[in-house]
Structure 1
Amino acid sequence: MTILVIEDDRKTGDYLKKGLIESGYQVDLVRNGTDGLHQALANPYELIVLDVMLPGIDGWQIMSALRAKRDLPVIFLTARDQVSDRIHGLELGADDYLVKPFSFTELVLRIRTLLRRGVMRESDTFQVADLHVDVLRRKVTRKGIDIVLTNKEFALLHLFCKHQGEALSRTLIASEVWDMNFDSDTNVVDVAVKRLRAKIDNPFELKLIHTVRSIGYSFGEDS
Protein backbone atom coordinates (compact mmCIF):
# COMPACT_ATOMS: atom_id res chain seq x y z
CA MET A 1 0.00 0.00 0.00
CA THR A 2 1.31 3.43 -0.96
CA ILE A 3 0.95 6.45 1.33
CA LEU A 4 1.53 10.07 0.36
CA VAL A 5 3.06 12.28 3.06
CA ILE A 6 2.74 16.03 2.51
CA GLU A 7 5.00 17.64 5.12
CA ASP A 8 7.29 20.65 4.72
CA ASP A 9 9.37 20.19 7.88
CA ARG A 10 12.37 18.23 6.65
CA LYS A 11 13.10 16.40 9.90
CA THR A 12 9.47 15.38 10.43
CA GLY A 13 9.01 14.37 6.81
CA ASP A 14 12.11 12.20 6.75
CA TYR A 15 11.13 10.62 10.09
CA LEU A 16 7.64 9.79 8.79
CA LYS A 17 8.91 8.35 5.52
CA LYS A 18 11.53 6.17 7.23
CA GLY A 19 9.13 4.94 9.91
CA LEU A 20 6.28 4.15 7.52
CA ILE A 21 8.61 2.28 5.16
CA GLU A 22 9.84 0.22 8.12
CA SER A 23 6.17 -0.44 8.96
CA GLY A 24 5.66 -2.02 5.55
CA TYR A 25 4.27 0.82 3.43
CA GLN A 26 5.50 2.40 0.24
CA VAL A 27 5.84 6.14 0.84
CA ASP A 28 6.05 9.23 -1.36
CA LEU A 29 7.13 12.40 0.44
CA VAL A 30 6.28 15.87 -0.87
CA ARG A 31 7.40 19.05 0.90
CA ASN A 32 5.01 21.71 -0.41
CA GLY A 33 1.28 22.06 -0.93
CA THR A 34 1.22 22.68 -4.69
CA ASP A 35 3.19 19.53 -5.55
CA GLY A 36 1.33 17.63 -2.84
CA LEU A 37 -2.07 18.32 -4.39
CA HIS A 38 -0.78 17.42 -7.85
CA GLN A 39 0.64 14.13 -6.55
CA ALA A 40 -2.57 13.33 -4.64
CA LEU A 41 -4.74 13.79 -7.73
CA ALA A 42 -2.38 12.13 -10.18
CA ASN A 43 -1.63 8.88 -8.31
CA PRO A 44 -3.75 6.09 -6.77
CA TYR A 45 -2.67 6.44 -3.14
CA GLU A 46 -4.41 4.42 -0.45
CA LEU A 47 -3.99 7.16 2.20
CA ILE A 48 -2.59 10.66 2.67
CA VAL A 49 -0.88 12.12 5.74
CA LEU A 50 -1.32 15.87 5.44
CA ASP A 51 0.14 18.86 7.27
CA VAL A 52 -1.86 22.11 7.44
CA MET A 53 0.81 24.81 7.31
CA LEU A 54 2.54 24.27 3.98
CA PRO A 55 4.29 26.47 1.41
CA GLY A 56 2.38 26.99 -1.81
CA ILE A 57 -1.16 26.06 -0.81
CA ASP A 58 -2.08 24.97 2.69
CA GLY A 59 -3.59 21.71 3.93
CA TRP A 60 -7.10 23.17 4.19
CA GLN A 61 -7.02 24.05 0.47
CA ILE A 62 -5.61 20.65 -0.44
CA MET A 63 -8.35 18.90 1.54
CA SER A 64 -11.11 20.91 -0.14
CA ALA A 65 -9.72 20.32 -3.62
CA LEU A 66 -9.13 16.65 -2.93
CA ARG A 67 -12.65 15.94 -1.68
CA ALA A 68 -14.08 17.48 -4.85
CA LYS A 69 -12.17 14.92 -6.93
CA ARG A 70 -11.35 11.82 -4.90
CA ASP A 71 -12.48 9.81 -1.90
CA LEU A 72 -9.58 8.31 0.02
CA PRO A 73 -8.53 8.36 3.70
CA VAL A 74 -6.77 11.52 4.85
CA ILE A 75 -5.15 12.12 8.24
CA PHE A 76 -4.24 15.66 9.21
CA LEU A 77 -0.95 15.66 11.14
CA THR A 78 -0.36 19.20 12.33
CA ALA A 79 0.72 21.49 15.14
CA ARG A 80 -2.64 23.27 14.87
CA ASP A 81 -4.07 22.05 18.16
CA GLN A 82 -7.15 24.22 18.70
CA VAL A 83 -10.53 22.48 18.87
CA SER A 84 -11.74 24.82 16.12
CA ASP A 85 -8.89 23.63 13.87
CA ARG A 86 -9.80 19.99 14.47
CA ILE A 87 -13.46 20.67 13.74
CA HIS A 88 -12.53 22.58 10.58
CA GLY A 89 -10.35 19.73 9.33
CA LEU A 90 -13.07 17.15 9.92
CA GLU A 91 -15.70 19.40 8.33
CA LEU A 92 -13.54 19.62 5.21
CA GLY A 93 -13.69 15.83 4.96
CA ALA A 94 -10.60 14.54 6.76
CA ASP A 95 -10.96 11.08 8.29
CA ASP A 96 -8.72 11.76 11.29
CA TYR A 97 -6.76 14.56 12.97
CA LEU A 98 -3.57 14.03 14.97
CA VAL A 99 -1.73 16.86 16.73
CA LYS A 100 2.06 17.29 16.86
CA PRO A 101 4.04 16.25 18.82
CA PHE A 102 2.63 12.81 18.15
CA SER A 103 3.23 9.16 18.93
CA PHE A 104 4.40 7.34 15.81
CA THR A 105 2.84 4.12 17.12
CA GLU A 106 -0.50 5.88 17.44
CA LEU A 107 -0.19 7.25 13.91
CA VAL A 108 0.45 3.76 12.50
CA LEU A 109 -2.52 2.36 14.42
CA ARG A 110 -4.77 5.09 13.04
CA ILE A 111 -3.48 4.43 9.51
CA ARG A 112 -4.18 0.72 9.83
CA THR A 113 -7.68 1.41 11.14
CA LEU A 114 -8.50 3.71 8.24
CA LEU A 115 -7.10 1.34 5.65
CA ARG A 116 -9.12 -1.56 7.08
CA ARG A 117 -12.21 0.62 7.04
CA GLY A 118 -11.50 1.56 3.45
CA VAL A 119 -11.81 -2.06 2.31
CA MET A 120 -15.56 -1.77 2.80
CA ARG A 121 -16.41 1.54 1.17
CA GLU A 122 -19.72 3.20 1.85
CA SER A 123 -22.19 3.86 -0.93
CA ASP A 124 -21.21 6.81 -3.11
CA THR A 125 -24.80 7.83 -3.83
CA PHE A 126 -28.17 7.72 -2.10
CA GLN A 127 -31.66 7.99 -3.57
CA VAL A 128 -34.46 8.67 -1.09
CA ALA A 129 -37.78 9.35 -2.82
CA ASP A 130 -37.00 12.30 -5.13
CA LEU A 131 -33.88 13.31 -3.19
CA HIS A 132 -30.51 12.37 -4.70
CA VAL A 133 -27.24 12.64 -2.76
CA ASP A 134 -23.87 12.24 -4.48
CA VAL A 135 -21.35 11.80 -1.66
CA LEU A 136 -18.18 12.05 -3.74
CA ARG A 137 -19.24 15.24 -5.50
CA ARG A 138 -21.04 16.51 -2.39
CA LYS A 139 -24.00 17.31 -4.63
CA VAL A 140 -27.62 17.24 -3.47
CA THR A 141 -30.69 17.55 -5.69
CA ARG A 142 -34.41 17.15 -5.12
CA LYS A 143 -36.79 16.88 -8.07
CA GLY A 144 -33.81 17.90 -10.16
CA ILE A 145 -33.30 21.13 -8.20
CA ASP A 146 -29.79 21.75 -6.86
CA ILE A 147 -29.66 22.24 -3.09
CA VAL A 148 -26.62 23.96 -1.59
CA LEU A 149 -25.66 22.70 1.87
CA THR A 150 -22.94 23.70 4.31
CA ASN A 151 -20.40 21.06 5.28
CA LYS A 152 -22.22 20.38 8.53
CA GLU A 153 -25.63 20.17 6.85
CA PHE A 154 -24.21 17.73 4.31
CA ALA A 155 -22.70 15.58 7.09
CA LEU A 156 -26.07 15.52 8.84
CA LEU A 157 -27.91 14.55 5.66
CA HIS A 158 -25.30 11.87 4.92
CA LEU A 159 -25.85 10.39 8.38
CA PHE A 160 -29.61 10.35 7.84
CA CYS A 161 -29.20 8.65 4.45
CA LYS A 162 -27.00 5.92 5.94
CA HIS A 163 -29.62 5.20 8.61
CA GLN A 164 -32.90 5.49 6.74
CA GLY A 165 -35.87 4.44 8.82
CA GLU A 166 -33.90 4.35 12.07
CA ALA A 167 -34.68 6.53 15.09
CA LEU A 168 -31.46 8.44 15.80
CA SER A 169 -30.99 10.06 19.19
CA ARG A 170 -29.73 13.62 19.49
CA THR A 171 -26.68 12.30 21.37
CA LEU A 172 -25.81 9.92 18.54
CA ILE A 173 -26.29 12.63 15.92
CA ALA A 174 -24.07 15.04 17.87
CA SER A 175 -21.38 12.39 18.26
CA GLU A 176 -21.39 11.38 14.59
CA VAL A 177 -21.73 14.79 12.97
CA TRP A 178 -19.73 16.96 15.39
CA ASP A 179 -17.43 14.18 16.66
CA MET A 180 -17.92 15.31 20.24
CA ASN A 181 -20.41 15.00 23.05
CA PHE A 182 -22.86 17.78 23.79
CA ASP A 183 -24.69 18.53 27.00
CA SER A 184 -28.25 17.22 26.99
CA ASP A 185 -29.70 20.71 27.28
CA THR A 186 -28.05 22.08 24.14
CA ASN A 187 -30.19 22.63 21.05
CA VAL A 188 -27.38 22.45 18.49
CA VAL A 189 -28.83 19.31 16.88
CA ASP A 190 -32.36 20.74 16.71
CA VAL A 191 -31.07 23.95 15.15
CA ALA A 192 -29.05 22.02 12.56
CA VAL A 193 -32.03 19.81 11.69
CA LYS A 194 -34.26 22.88 11.35
CA ARG A 195 -31.82 24.43 8.88
CA LEU A 196 -31.57 21.20 6.90
CA ARG A 197 -35.37 20.87 6.81
CA ALA A 198 -35.66 24.40 5.45
CA LYS A 199 -33.59 23.36 2.45
CA ILE A 200 -34.58 19.77 1.67
CA ASP A 201 -38.11 19.46 3.13
CA ASN A 202 -40.00 22.73 3.47
CA PRO A 203 -40.15 23.56 -0.25
CA PHE A 204 -41.51 20.09 -1.09
CA GLU A 205 -44.76 18.26 -0.37
CA LEU A 206 -43.20 14.96 0.75
CA LYS A 207 -41.36 15.34 4.06
CA LEU A 208 -38.32 13.13 4.71
CA ILE A 209 -37.12 14.30 8.14
CA HIS A 210 -39.38 13.20 10.99
CA THR A 211 -39.26 14.04 14.69
CA VAL A 212 -39.31 11.01 16.98
CA ARG A 213 -40.73 12.16 20.29
CA SER A 214 -38.40 11.89 23.29
CA ILE A 215 -35.65 10.38 21.09
CA GLY A 216 -34.55 12.50 18.16
CA TYR A 217 -35.14 12.13 14.43
CA SER A 218 -35.68 9.60 11.66
CA PHE A 219 -35.34 9.92 7.91
CA GLY A 220 -37.11 8.47 4.90
CA GLU A 221 -40.42 8.28 3.06
CA ASP A 222 -42.18 6.10 5.63
CA SER A 223 -40.38 7.04 8.85
Structure 2
Amino acid sequence: MIRILAVDDDLNMLHFVASELRLTGYQVIEATSGEQALDLLNIKPVDIAIVDVMMPGIDGFELTKTLRSDFDIPVILLTARHHIEDKEKGFLAGSDDYLVKPFDAKELLFRVKAVLRRYDQTADSELRVGSLTIDFKSYEVRSPKGKLILPLKEFEILSILLSRKEQVVTRETIIERVWGIDFSGDERTITVHIKRIRERLERFAPDLKIVTVRGVGYRIEVTN
Protein backbone atom coordinates (compact mmCIF):
# COMPACT_ATOMS: atom_id res chain seq x y z
CA MET A 1 0.00 0.00 0.00
CA ILE A 2 1.25 3.48 -0.86
CA ARG A 3 2.04 5.52 2.25
CA ILE A 4 1.84 9.32 2.05
CA LEU A 5 3.18 11.90 4.49
CA ALA A 6 0.94 15.00 4.76
CA VAL A 7 2.47 18.03 6.51
CA ASP A 8 0.53 21.21 7.28
CA ASP A 9 0.15 23.38 10.40
CA ASP A 10 -3.40 24.25 9.27
CA LEU A 11 -5.41 21.41 10.83
CA ASN A 12 -8.42 21.93 8.56
CA MET A 13 -6.28 21.66 5.44
CA LEU A 14 -4.33 18.72 6.88
CA HIS A 15 -7.49 16.78 7.65
CA PHE A 16 -8.97 17.60 4.24
CA VAL A 17 -5.89 16.32 2.42
CA ALA A 18 -5.58 13.23 4.61
CA SER A 19 -9.25 12.25 4.37
CA GLU A 20 -9.37 12.61 0.59
CA LEU A 21 -6.24 10.48 0.21
CA ARG A 22 -7.57 7.81 2.56
CA LEU A 23 -10.86 7.64 0.66
CA THR A 24 -8.82 6.76 -2.43
CA GLY A 25 -7.08 3.93 -0.60
CA TYR A 26 -3.79 5.52 0.41
CA GLN A 27 -2.30 5.18 3.86
CA VAL A 28 -1.61 8.63 5.33
CA ILE A 29 0.68 9.82 8.10
CA GLU A 30 -0.14 13.33 9.37
CA ALA A 31 2.31 15.89 10.75
CA THR A 32 1.66 19.46 11.85
CA SER A 33 5.26 20.66 11.55
CA GLY A 34 8.47 19.96 9.69
CA GLU A 35 10.09 18.77 12.90
CA GLN A 36 7.32 16.25 13.57
CA ALA A 37 7.48 15.05 9.96
CA LEU A 38 11.19 14.23 10.25
CA ASP A 39 10.62 12.40 13.54
CA LEU A 40 7.91 10.28 11.92
CA LEU A 41 10.10 9.46 8.94
CA ASN A 42 12.66 7.86 11.23
CA ILE A 43 9.95 5.39 12.26
CA LYS A 44 7.83 4.92 9.15
CA PRO A 45 9.13 5.26 5.58
CA VAL A 46 6.79 6.86 3.05
CA ASP A 47 6.46 6.88 -0.74
CA ILE A 48 5.61 10.55 -1.27
CA ALA A 49 5.15 13.71 0.81
CA ILE A 50 2.62 16.55 0.49
CA VAL A 51 4.06 19.59 2.25
CA ASP A 52 2.69 23.05 3.05
CA VAL A 53 5.12 25.88 2.32
CA MET A 54 4.26 28.30 5.14
CA MET A 55 5.00 26.62 8.48
CA PRO A 56 6.77 27.90 11.60
CA GLY A 57 10.16 26.40 12.37
CA ILE A 58 11.19 24.19 9.46
CA ASP A 59 9.21 25.60 6.55
CA GLY A 60 8.14 23.70 3.45
CA PHE A 61 11.15 24.71 1.37
CA GLU A 62 13.65 23.58 4.00
CA LEU A 63 11.71 20.37 4.67
CA THR A 64 11.62 19.60 0.95
CA LYS A 65 15.40 19.90 0.70
CA THR A 66 15.80 17.43 3.56
CA LEU A 67 13.22 15.00 2.18
CA ARG A 68 14.95 14.96 -1.20
CA SER A 69 18.57 14.83 0.04
CA ASP A 70 18.26 12.54 3.06
CA PHE A 71 15.25 10.36 2.22
CA ASP A 72 14.92 10.62 -1.58
CA ILE A 73 11.16 11.12 -1.31
CA PRO A 74 9.14 12.91 -4.03
CA VAL A 75 7.41 16.05 -2.75
CA ILE A 76 4.31 18.00 -3.76
CA LEU A 77 4.25 21.51 -2.25
CA LEU A 78 1.07 23.27 -1.16
CA THR A 79 0.89 27.05 -0.89
CA ALA A 80 -1.56 29.91 -0.69
CA ARG A 81 0.79 32.15 -2.62
CA HIS A 82 0.62 32.90 -6.33
CA HIS A 83 4.02 34.52 -6.83
CA ILE A 84 6.20 32.89 -9.49
CA GLU A 85 9.21 33.42 -7.21
CA ASP A 86 7.76 30.99 -4.67
CA LYS A 87 7.15 28.38 -7.34
CA GLU A 88 10.72 28.75 -8.52
CA LYS A 89 12.01 28.46 -4.96
CA GLY A 90 9.95 25.31 -4.47
CA PHE A 91 11.30 23.60 -7.57
CA LEU A 92 14.85 24.66 -6.72
CA ALA A 93 14.38 23.02 -3.31
CA GLY A 94 13.61 19.78 -5.13
CA SER A 95 9.82 19.60 -5.20
CA ASP A 96 8.23 17.49 -7.94
CA ASP A 97 4.98 19.45 -8.24
CA TYR A 98 3.19 22.49 -6.88
CA LEU A 99 -0.44 23.11 -5.88
CA VAL A 100 -1.88 26.54 -5.06
CA LYS A 101 -4.63 26.70 -2.43
CA PRO A 102 -7.54 26.40 -2.69
CA PHE A 103 -7.53 23.32 -4.89
CA ASP A 104 -9.99 20.59 -5.78
CA ALA A 105 -9.55 17.12 -4.30
CA LYS A 106 -9.54 15.61 -7.79
CA GLU A 107 -6.59 17.80 -8.77
CA LEU A 108 -4.66 16.70 -5.68
CA LEU A 109 -5.28 13.03 -6.43
CA PHE A 110 -4.30 13.53 -10.07
CA ARG A 111 -1.02 15.17 -9.07
CA VAL A 112 -0.22 12.41 -6.56
CA LYS A 113 -0.85 9.67 -9.13
CA ALA A 114 1.20 11.50 -11.76
CA VAL A 115 4.24 11.88 -9.48
CA LEU A 116 4.04 8.26 -8.29
CA ARG A 117 3.77 7.05 -11.89
CA ARG A 118 6.77 9.15 -12.89
CA TYR A 119 8.88 7.59 -10.15
CA ASP A 120 7.74 4.08 -11.02
CA GLN A 121 8.82 4.61 -14.61
CA THR A 122 12.26 5.94 -13.69
CA ALA A 123 13.00 3.52 -10.84
CA ASP A 124 16.10 1.42 -11.21
CA SER A 125 15.42 -2.20 -12.13
CA GLU A 126 18.50 -3.36 -10.22
CA LEU A 127 20.04 -2.58 -6.87
CA ARG A 128 23.56 -3.49 -5.86
CA VAL A 129 24.72 -3.58 -2.24
CA GLY A 130 28.09 -5.08 -1.44
CA SER A 131 28.60 -8.23 -3.49
CA LEU A 132 24.86 -8.72 -3.99
CA THR A 133 22.75 -7.53 -6.94
CA ILE A 134 18.98 -7.74 -6.77
CA ASP A 135 16.93 -7.61 -9.98
CA PHE A 136 13.41 -6.30 -9.45
CA LYS A 137 12.20 -7.40 -12.89
CA SER A 138 13.39 -11.02 -12.91
CA TYR A 139 13.24 -11.44 -9.11
CA GLU A 140 16.77 -12.81 -9.20
CA VAL A 141 19.47 -12.28 -6.61
CA ARG A 142 23.03 -12.53 -7.90
CA SER A 143 26.49 -12.59 -6.36
CA PRO A 144 29.93 -13.79 -7.50
CA LYS A 145 28.95 -17.11 -5.96
CA GLY A 146 25.99 -17.61 -8.29
CA LYS A 147 22.33 -16.87 -8.87
CA LEU A 148 19.54 -17.28 -6.36
CA ILE A 149 15.77 -17.39 -6.76
CA LEU A 150 14.17 -16.58 -3.43
CA PRO A 151 10.62 -17.30 -2.30
CA LEU A 152 8.59 -14.13 -2.90
CA LYS A 153 8.26 -13.09 0.75
CA GLU A 154 11.99 -13.47 1.33
CA PHE A 155 12.72 -11.50 -1.84
CA GLU A 156 10.45 -8.66 -0.69
CA ILE A 157 12.00 -8.53 2.80
CA LEU A 158 15.53 -8.54 1.39
CA SER A 159 14.58 -5.81 -1.09
CA ILE A 160 13.30 -3.58 1.71
CA LEU A 161 16.45 -4.06 3.77
CA LEU A 162 18.83 -3.53 0.84
CA SER A 163 17.02 -0.39 -0.33
CA ARG A 164 17.57 1.08 3.14
CA LYS A 165 21.17 0.00 3.64
CA GLU A 166 22.57 0.89 7.08
CA GLN A 167 19.10 2.09 8.20
CA VAL A 168 16.93 0.36 10.76
CA VAL A 169 13.74 -1.04 9.24
CA THR A 170 11.06 -1.71 11.84
CA ARG A 171 9.26 -5.02 12.07
CA GLU A 172 6.02 -3.08 11.60
CA THR A 173 7.26 -1.65 8.31
CA ILE A 174 8.27 -5.07 6.99
CA ILE A 175 4.96 -6.62 7.98
CA GLU A 176 2.94 -3.81 6.39
CA ARG A 177 4.97 -3.83 3.16
CA VAL A 178 5.14 -7.61 2.74
CA TRP A 179 1.97 -8.97 4.35
CA GLY A 180 -0.23 -5.86 4.48
CA ILE A 181 -1.72 -3.81 7.31
CA ASP A 182 -4.41 -6.44 7.90
CA PHE A 183 -1.86 -9.14 8.75
CA SER A 184 -3.13 -11.08 11.76
CA GLY A 185 -0.51 -13.81 11.93
CA ASP A 186 2.17 -14.48 14.50
CA GLU A 187 5.12 -12.06 14.53
CA ARG A 188 7.39 -15.09 14.70
CA THR A 189 6.69 -15.43 10.99
CA ILE A 190 9.05 -12.57 10.22
CA THR A 191 11.69 -14.06 12.54
CA VAL A 192 11.61 -17.30 10.55
CA HIS A 193 11.95 -15.45 7.24
CA ILE A 194 14.87 -13.35 8.51
CA LYS A 195 16.63 -16.50 9.72
CA ARG A 196 16.30 -18.10 6.27
CA ILE A 197 17.58 -14.97 4.53
CA ARG A 198 20.58 -14.88 6.87
CA GLU A 199 21.44 -18.46 6.03
CA ARG A 200 21.29 -17.69 2.32
CA LEU A 201 23.47 -14.58 2.71
CA GLU A 202 26.09 -16.59 4.58
CA ARG A 203 26.49 -18.76 1.48
CA PHE A 204 25.94 -16.25 -1.33
CA ALA A 205 27.02 -12.88 0.09
CA PRO A 206 29.01 -13.30 3.32
CA ASP A 207 29.90 -9.58 3.27
CA LEU A 208 26.26 -8.72 4.06
CA LYS A 209 24.90 -9.13 7.57
CA ILE A 210 21.38 -8.63 8.89
CA VAL A 211 21.68 -7.06 12.34
CA THR A 212 18.82 -7.30 14.82
CA VAL A 213 18.04 -4.03 16.62
CA ARG A 214 16.34 -5.35 19.73
CA GLY A 215 12.78 -4.18 20.16
CA VAL A 216 12.80 -2.24 16.87
CA GLY A 217 13.65 -4.23 13.74
CA TYR A 218 16.56 -5.03 11.44
CA ARG A 219 19.41 -3.34 9.62
CA ILE A 220 21.59 -4.70 6.82
CA GLU A 221 25.32 -3.96 7.02
CA VAL A 222 28.17 -4.39 4.56
CA THR A 223 31.34 -5.79 6.10
CA ASN A 224 34.79 -5.82 4.53
Tell me the TM-score range normalised by the shorter chain: 0.5 to 0.7
Secondary structure in 2 matching 1:75: strand
| Segments of 4+ moved more than 6 angstroms | none
Residue matched to 1:68: 69
Cα gap change, 1:40 to 1:87, in 2 (>3 Å): farther
- What RMSD over aligned residues (CA atoms) do the two structures have, in Å? 1.5
Residue number in structure 1 paired with 2:83: 82
The alpha carbon displacement at 1:12 in A equals: 0.8
Amino acid at match of 1:101: P
Structure 2: which amino acid aligns with 1:75? I
Q: Show the counterpart of 1:188.
A: none
SS at match of 1:69: helix
Secondary structure at 1:57 match in 2 = coil
Bigger mean CA deviation after superposition, 92-101 or 42-51: 42-51
Q: Are 1:99 and 2:100 matched, yes or no?
A: yes
One-letter amino acid of the counterpart of residue 30, structure 1: A
The answer to whether the 8 A contact 2:68-2:74 is kept is no
Provide the C-alpha distance between the structure 1 equivalents of 2:82 and 2:43, rounded to a whole number of angstroms. Answer: 30
Structure 2 vs 1, CA of residues 41 and 6 (structure 1 numbering), >3 Å: closer, same or farther?
same
Distance 1:43 1:94 in 2: 21
CA distance in 2, matches of 1:12, 1:85: 20
Which sections of structure 2, spanning at least 5 residues, go unmatched? 125-224
2:33 pairs with 1:39: no
Deviations 1:34-61, CA, capped at 9 Å, x for gaps? 1112323543211100001113311111
Provide TM-score, normalisation by structure 2: 0.52
CA deviation after TM superposition for structure 1 residue 122, in Å: 5.3
1:63-212 equivalence runs, <5 A: 63-121=64-122
In structure 1, give the amino acid aligned to 2:26: Y
Distance of 2:105 and 2:111 partners within structure 1: 10
Cα shift at 1:85: 0.2
What is the alpha-carbon distance in structure 1 between the residues aligned to residue 71 and residue 30 of structure 2?
A: 19
Query: In the alignment, is the contact (CA less than 8 A) between 1:41 and 1:69 conserved in 2?
Result: no
- From the superposition, tell whether residues 71 and 80 of structure 1 become closer, same or farther in structure 2 (CA, over 3 Å): same
1:72 match: secondary structure: coil
- Contact (CA 8 Å) 2:21, 2:28: kept in 1 or not? yes
Equivalent in the alignment of 1:218 = none
How far, CA to CA, are the matches of 2:57 and 2:19 in structure 1? 24
Which secondary structure state, in structure 2, belongs to the residue aligned with residue 120 of structure 1? helix
